[in-house]
Structure 1
């Protein structure tokens, strides 16, 4: 299978987005089975989760978590709804007629709700500042084959949401990639991985199975 076919398989098996499929494939070092598992876990982590306890149930959505105590008769009705494959739309912010959720059963345990939080002061000691790069002014191709028999695969991301699948020969230098993009954009560019800048004289093997950020070189 080529790269696009692999990404299609991961998306189909996990019901994830294309971007998530690419991330998981790169993280798994080109192992399709592991990539599918990672993608499924990603999708699952973003679903509303309902935790069933002896004394009530918890609805978790993102960082928000609400406990519904069975001491309130209305909350007991929620448990009956689950048995019927139903739930209260308002409690899970559902605007449609059906939704996927994760249900975990802990009904041999009681849920203990902390009544009061103990607070402490905090301070930001790192003061991390995220750079905002100028947008690349042209639409780039979705796939670039630098070398037909290339054995190094990587994904270039630009303008935050756009991506390019790339393939290049193992013996090439990053300079080849930089020159190619410069010829398309008509402006010098830089490549970054996790905020680390890569120079033209470095080997492209450093880019293998990586998500690379393409930005304009504003110093030029």
Structure 2
């Protein structure tokens, strides 16, 4: 009898919580980061329709993908992939804008989760030992309150079940924006920007460096050039979006 009472109480509590969630959603609806429509109770951050129509690259299933070819010869890496294409006016642009400028770190976490599931299902990808998000300069981090690449990294890690190390590779210079710079100008702008505090922590590790959007790859190249100086370090690259 006591067990039946407990089950009834649990069911009643769950029903009450569901009612409260639905009630709050009427007045404070959670909006999709991609299209701005109201999310259903079972949806998280990005609606089912936007997820279904994401312009997935499938780079994770092709070792000789466009991103890999773009980075070949610039630094040594094992794997390189991005989850979706970044196209002006599309849902991916909206999601990344919400992440970076509209205080929605959960958008990065959710995209990281979706991407990680694709990596797990790929027969071409070796799961790394740890993840390093591209670091922000402390001044920019204070202004934004979070690192968008770290949000993505945490989403990846929650599915891949590997650690995120965000305090070893650091950014020591607050560079000007990379927008409208050529590839060479971007590389020059990032020279000497990143340093590693404890190189020994990365010895014999397969490291996945994570960024939000890849355009020329100069930022990832600058990070990788620092890390590849250390003993027996293998580097792979991942980003949410690849700018066409």
TM-score above 0.5, yes or no: no
Instruction: Return the structure number with greater helix share.
Output: 2
The structure with the greater share of residues assigned to strand is 1
Q: RCO (CA 8 Å, sep 6+): is it higher in 1 or 2?
A: 2
- Structure with higher Rg: it is 1
Question: TM-score scaled by structure 2?
Answer: 0.23
TM-score by length of 1: 0.25
